[in-house]
Chains A and B, each alone.
Chain A
């Protein structure tokens, strides 16, 4: 009884903490959103004033200020999100991850038998990229290798299934 009570208390405290964190995250999003707009406006005004003080014609100064701020924003966005997207698995790596999840999730013997194959496909991909091989070529080679891997593992699975059916008869 006591244990059940403590479990319930733990669950409710977890729920409260989760709700609290969600509220804070929402608030942060709101603040960051407003801050970005304000920083953008401030930098346009700042650059505009700077260009005017340097003797630029007023309407040209504002146009250049907007252009500079926009390009800085694009660069910053690319720098922040571009790096993050590079870290995320893409294309062939994503496919390899999916294959591994399917195989490992079912605790198949194929995963134990062939995971080193998958490991070496990805290692070869890394080595090709390090050797400055064109990205499209590496992509193509890796996709081909992964497809062959899937076919061989699939055939082995079908063979196993047919053998077990034969045995059961």
Chain B
């Protein structure tokens, strides 16, 4: 099983991909979206988000662009928006299919 296999996605990676499934978001927005969707039960920190975004970008599941906003006044750092790619969407779908199949299999087993 390769590293790029969608079934190898961690929960954090999956959450990030789902957060940017329908619209591009920047880092802090992704964190807030995950916290909001889980009603505060699941949160990811800065130290987990950005390395995971880099990993997903390397895998080709995510693409990014620099924001048009003015850079931060003290550091000159810029905002970056992340967007899911076609293969990222396919990975999410494949993982979802796998989970659905697993649930159906369990049900069939019970019967």
Contacts and interface: CB of A to CB of B under 8 A. Distances in A.
Interface of A: 89, 93, 96-97, 99-100, 104, 113-124, 145, 148-149, 152
Interface residues of B, number: 18
Most buried by A among B46, B47, B78, B79: B46
A115 B75 CA distance: 9
Contacts of B79: 116, 119-120, 123
Contacts of A119: 71-72, 75, 77-80
Interface string B15-56: 000000000001110000000000000000111001100100
A122 B72 CA distance: 8
Contact of B77 (A115, A145, A152): A115
Contact of A120 (B28, B51, B76): B28
Contacts of B74: 89, 93, 96-97, 100, 122
A126 to B, nearest CB: 9
B28 A118 contact: no
A122 B77 contact: yes
Contact of A145 (B46, B51, B72, B78): B46
Contacts of B71: 119
Contact of A152 (B27, B47, B72): B47
A108 to B, nearest CB: 13
